[in-house]
Amino acid sequence: METTAINAKPFLRWAGGKKWFIKYLNDFLPVKFNNYHEIFLGSASAFFNIPAKSYKAAYLSDVNEDLINAFVQIKENIAGLIKILNEFKNTEAYYYKIRNQHDHSDPVFRAARLIFMNKTGYNGIYRVNSLGRFNVPYGHRENVDFVSEMNLLEVNKKLANANISNIDFEEAIAKVRKGDLVFIDPPYTVAHENNGFIEYNKKLFSLDDQIRLSKAIQKIISKGAYYLLTNAKHEKILEIYSHLQRPKILERHSHIGGNGAKRENIKEYIFTNCIK
């Protein structure tokens, strides 16, 4: 596949982000495809690493409303968004003042709020309480450039031919056509190599959702489109996706934080029908 300089970078830090996968991405992409779909968008690390000239249009979606609103505002209201961000201050008191504005009605303000809290909050995680209210504490990252104006302007250009939707993956897959490529990075339901659970959102991505996804991938295949699915290496996952071609296994380093922090090697599955 032809490569060009990639300027726009992810503007959010996101749990389960696929930054580690980027060095392998080209090995898995089909030589040629029509539209590009990313249906569990998060920070969109894969999308930002696929040159715009390799696809006709991009279809980007996620069920997280705040996240999708941020992409939409960068696309449609970039000047207003940057103006609001430039008015924010990176202090503890100001952070909590902004964090308390849960119900602000202006979508541009809400996008600025998410970007600001994501960059200045603790560990860059998106976490909400049972009422759906962002509850991450202040991160004391006083020197961080939370506006990143140059990058936001590049992201705005990159989104020019993107359709952005706040929808469930099944609805997103309904838009896939023959020859399209779908990048699929669901929340990991099972922890790697054991039976623990990992939570990203208010609603956990359950084993039933994984089964629903495996059926939806069958639809992608029937349409004559390509899929690229990442998932935790786990027996249960192999069982649920047993109708797909056997996965490749990739290994990556992971830093497990907290007391007794350690580095671990983690194995991931890559399922795909992209044949070079």
- Residues near ligand SAM (CB under 6 A) are 14, 16-18, 39-40, 42-43, 45, 62-64, 168-169, 185-187, 200-201, 205, 209
Least Å distance between CB 10 and ligand SAM?
7
Complex with ligand SAM: residue 84 or 124, whichever CB lies closer: 124
Complex with ligand SAM: residue 38 or 180, whichever CB lies closer: 38
Least Å distance between CB 232 and ligand SAM?
10
Nearest-angstrom CA–CA distance, 210 and 150: 38
Burial of 62 (0-12, 13-18, 19+ CB in 10 A): buried
Complex with ligand SAM: residue 186 or 247, whichever CB lies closer: 186
Complex with ligand SAM: residue 18 or 113, whichever CB lies closer: 18
Least Å distance between CB 48 and ligand SAM?
9
SS3 content of the chain, % helix, strand, coil (to 5): 35, 15, 45
Least Å distance between CB 94 and ligand SAM?
27
Other C-beta atoms within 10 Å of 9: how many?
17
HSE-CB for 248 with a 13 A CA cutoff:
15
Complex with ligand SAM: residue 67 or 84, whichever CB lies closer: 67
Nearest-angstrom CA–CA distance, 3 and 132: 40
Least Å distance between CB 18 and ligand SAM?
4
Axis-axis angle for helices 65-76, 107-120 (nearest 10): 110
* Beta strand 262-272 pairing with 248-256: antiparallel
Complex with ligand SAM: residue 90 or 210, whichever CB lies closer: 210
Nearest-angstrom CA–CA distance, 141 and 241: 41
Least Å distance between CB 150 and ligand SAM?
21
CB-nearest residue to ligand SAM: 42
Complex with ligand SAM: residue 121 or 186, whichever CB lies closer: 186
Complex with ligand SAM: residue 84 or 213, whichever CB lies closer: 213
Least Å distance between CB 93 and ligand SAM?
30
Nearest-angstrom CA–CA distance, 53 and 176: 19
CB 193 within 8 A of CB 234: yes
Least Å distance between CB 225 and ligand SAM?
17
Amino acid at residue number 213? L
What is the rounded end-to-end Cα distance, in angstroms, of the chain? 10
For residue 68, give every residue at least 6 positions away whose Cβ sits within 8 Å of its Cβ, in sequence order, or none: 41, 61, 62, 164, 165, 166
